Structure 1
């Protein structure tokens, strides 16, 4: 089904930051737009704010003056819901309350023409429930923008049980015509992003609670090794802990307390204390005037290292070995089982077991485990952990090896899967389960996480790159270590492993 014609009137209800942003997007795409808010003067003020923001872009040379003028000319405040009666698409962006939204949609159905599409910008409420009880539930669809709407590319187009596939296709095409990156999702708790992203926060919170490392080090590892735009603690500080914790609780409850989505007691404590992040000046970090930002833990070494022995196939570590060789390290290759030897140390990529457990089970002396990196050629920081009986000198030799190539090292307390590896494995697991349950296609699942939350790679594509077998192995080892259902591998992963298949062929 084609996109809505640019002459189609778009109505937006709710003149807060999200509603105003959506109105701006539609107007900049060429549509006449009416913005309504039940607060007197709020819609007109929102348009004034949009005008001021666009004027700044014109002044900086980022927007043509004519484009600015045309956009504002298309935006009109509406003084009543009745003024929206001739709209072809109405997007509500009001309070996240099921009953309030249902009442609004019911009223709109009585006012608007029979072919008007009613879209909800809800981030978590069921589109099926929102449409239930309406005379024309087929016309109701989710159109979930991300904040700020004019800048964020992703739009989740969400179909409820009764949504007409043609309506969803029309909204998908319309969002694309508006310059957005739309993905199609089925109405399940959290849709795509708010579901699949839960492990990104949860694993860092668990590592902090277990004393594996501090906030600054874990955040730095996700950025500098994992390639994520922000670490979990700085991101939740930015989002606001009241908001992030509420979403986690909502998903947890919606999935009948599935332990994969268990909220964190550490985050609850911040919410209880009113330490909500940047907006309150305190969260995991202190944002008050004069506060000093803590720095990540850097392991230091005075050891001298000139040689690295590679035993057998190095797999994912091959780019790292090439980088070390380029830094002047002499690389010697010989037969073996994929281990690295530097000085007295044995080095291996983590497989999800504790370093001490793996050293005992495989009879490895001075074992140092290495964390995953998105790109070992570019990573500026890596995490390591050591078995309990690893000599300090052996660990220092590993630190010196990576420092030689300009890589900072954060030494973590021995923990299954370290930081980046367990986070990526759990993201891939959640995305795989969403695919198994028909929430979205593999392509859209990956696209949503890249466009919506700026992941360096879609979780399923990342799983393909790591290898399905390794992802399942890491999850199995995490589950064995913790004895929790939280880490159970998705059937979709096990199925692909059994078939020798990938998510993206």
Structure 2
């Protein structure tokens, strides 16, 4: 892996060239448009210069790396390379044609890698006389800063090619995730639940988009909410990806997009690039203005909650209520405080035969001093909502009021993320450890899905999913067998299948 050819001098190609050159490889960079190669080398020179200025690398190392990148003027100049990486446009016909052209030039032992992010590596390899040497090597943009790469093994890819790219990935300073060839690979596959479930919550009118975003940032620790993320990437990019993944999985409801996303796309509400998406960006340097639901503190509120019940708020949340007066009869309370997880508030109130006008639910998993999610039913009165919010306002704790839904907002979204990751493990797409790393590094989530599931408890994740399935009858929420079996046996979600 000393001599590497790279075809395509765009953002990905030049980034791969730069990290390989820094690792000591001799790189030959080719593009059909020769000026693209000149621009790419100039960009690498400038980027290396910035790294030197920041003290990240020495001036001599930068100069040595730049000296290892050579422009190639013809594909035939790549004939003695050990590895060739294609980073051209995302078009199957173009990639297949290039692979056939390369096979006529390179030696039989040369590995052919594709940096495709959305196409089937198997389909690309099918055009080759030696498909066993074709492997996916999917970097993320910007390559020099995103220290993750997916190594994709198609059904006919030889293990030696995978091992070689894993070793080279480590050499260039990236964490390699080995995955089988499947739609979305690991990162784009695992990322489906966050955005699609956020859209589903909005479509159900559980809460408005600023509230959903804020809960997931403040309470769950995401860097941005799903609607901030959609505005950043643009619906013109996100909607086709959602629809493509759904189609590639033959309409599996876990990946089903929500109609309002395409409606907004057709309306031109793309996000930041169009000046308006879920948020408005017309003003210079505009940022989303999130809704505050804080209210002024009021008089002491009389509260009732059940004793030793599955819907009793946990002690950690009851400790946040020093200003309340606890009554022993629900009929005397201003607020009936419950904490169901797998059932909605309406069902809980009906089963316990309580007064629906006074009932409020509190998220038992993701409420705390940073913020509290309060769920109301159609029967909850405005006076009860104000009284419940006043309890936490006295402690300067923000409150976010949502409509009735099993799993609230954060537990529901995270349950879907964990369930999807479990199904990926069940299908053998990647190991739980690799999926966790890929999600943290590739998607920037605060915790990997298996780590999250074990922290919250597999039984709690399963309870949320079963509640959603019972309420909606939607196959979107069917629990993965991987999750169900480990929850029943009280095993960590990372526990392997013994025959796997």
TM-score by length of 2: 0.90
Cα displacement string for residues 327-374 of structure 1 (whole angstroms, at most 9, x for unaligned residues): x66999x9xxxxx9x964333444242211221123344332223656
> Partner of 2:498 in structure 1?
none
- In the alignment, the residues of structure 1 paired with residue 6 and residue 398 of structure 2 have an alpha-carbon distance, to the nearest angstrom, of 49
Contact 1:26 1:33 in 2 (8 A): yes
**Which digits, 9 at most, give the CA deviation of each residue in 1:65-123, with x for residues without a partner?**
22322222222222121122222121111111111111111211221122111111111
Q: 1:94 to 1:331 in 2, by over 3 A?
A: farther
Q: Deviations 1:299-346 (Å, cap 9, x if unpaired)?
A: 424334599879449999768449738xx66999x9xxxxx9x96433
Map 1:326-337 onto structure 2 (within 5 A). none
CA distance in 1, matches of 2:28, 2:319: 56
* 2:29 paired residue number: 35
Residue aligning to 1:294? 289
Hey, what's the Cα distance between the residues in 2 that align with 1:364 and 1:70?
Answer: 75
Q: Which residue of 1 aligns with 2:76?
A: 82
The change in CA–CA distance for 1:320 and 1:21 in structure 2 (over 3 A counts) is: farther
State the alpha-carbon separation in 2 of the partners of residues 137 and 307 from structure 1. 71
Which piece of structure 1 moves more, 365-374 or 270-279? 365-374
Paired positions, count: 490
Could you tell me which residue of structure 1 aligns to residue 273 of structure 2? 279
CA contact (8 A) 1:139 1:163 kept: yes
Residue 320 of structure 2: aligned partner: 324
What is the correspondence of 1:326-365 to structure 2 with a 5 Å cutoff? 344-365=334-355
1:93–1:122 Cα contact (<8 Å) kept: yes
**Match in the other structure for 2:149:** 155
Tell me which moved more, 398-407 or 81-90. 398-407
Contact residue 301 and residue 400 of structure 1 kept, 8 A: yes
Distance of 2:425 and 2:325 partners within structure 1: 42
Q: Report what 1:459 is aligned to.
A: 449
Shift of 1:201: 0.4
1:31-430 correspondence to structure 2 within 5 Å: 31-290=25-284, 293-304=288-299, 311-312=307-308, 320-321=316-317, 324=320, 344-365=334-355, 366-371=358-363, 380-430=370-420
Distance 1:345 1:460 in 2: 36
Shift, 1:490, TM fit: 1.2
For 2:345 and 2:311, locate their aligned partners in 1 and report how far apart those are by CA, in whole Å: 19
Q: 1:240 to 1:253 in 2, by over 3 A?
A: same
Change (3 A) 1:503 1:315: farther
Q: In the alignment, is the contact (CA less than 8 A) between 2:235 and 2:271 conserved in 1?
A: yes
- Flag the 1:317–1:128 CA change in 2: closer, same or farther, 3 A: farther
**Partner in structure 2 of residue 337 of structure 1:** none
- Cα separation, partners in 2 of 1:385 and 1:347, compared to 1, 3 Å: same
SS of 1:182's equivalent in the other structure is: strand
Q: Tell me if structure 2 keeps the 8 A contact 1:223–1:230.
A: yes
Q: CA RMSD in A?
A: 2.9
Aligned 8 A contact 1:122 1:144 in 2: yes
Contact 1:298 1:408 in 2 (8 A): yes
- TM-score normalised by length of structure 1: 0.89
Question: What CA distance in whole angstroms lies between the structure 1 residues aligned with 2:49 and 2:145?
Answer: 16
Q: Report the equivalent of 1:22.
A: 16
Gaps of 5+ in 2: 496-500
Unaligned runs of 5+ in 1: 335-339
Alignment of 1:495 with 2:485, yes or no, is yes
Asked if 1 retains the 8 angstrom alpha-carbon contact of 2:437 and 2:448, the reply is: yes
Q: Which moved more, 1:31-40 or 1:282-291?
A: 282-291
Aligned residue for 2:34, secondary structure, equals coil
Distance 2:101 2:319 in 1: 63
Please show how residues 474-489 of structure 1 align to structure 2 within 5 Å. Answer: 474-489=464-479
Distance 2:59 2:315 in 1: 48
1:210-229 deviation line (CA, Å, top 9, x unaligned): 22222222111111111111
Quote the Cα distance in structure 2 between the aligned partners of 1:102 and 1:301. 64
1:198 offset after TM fit, Å? 0.8
Q: 1:52 to 1:484 in 2, by over 3 A?
A: same
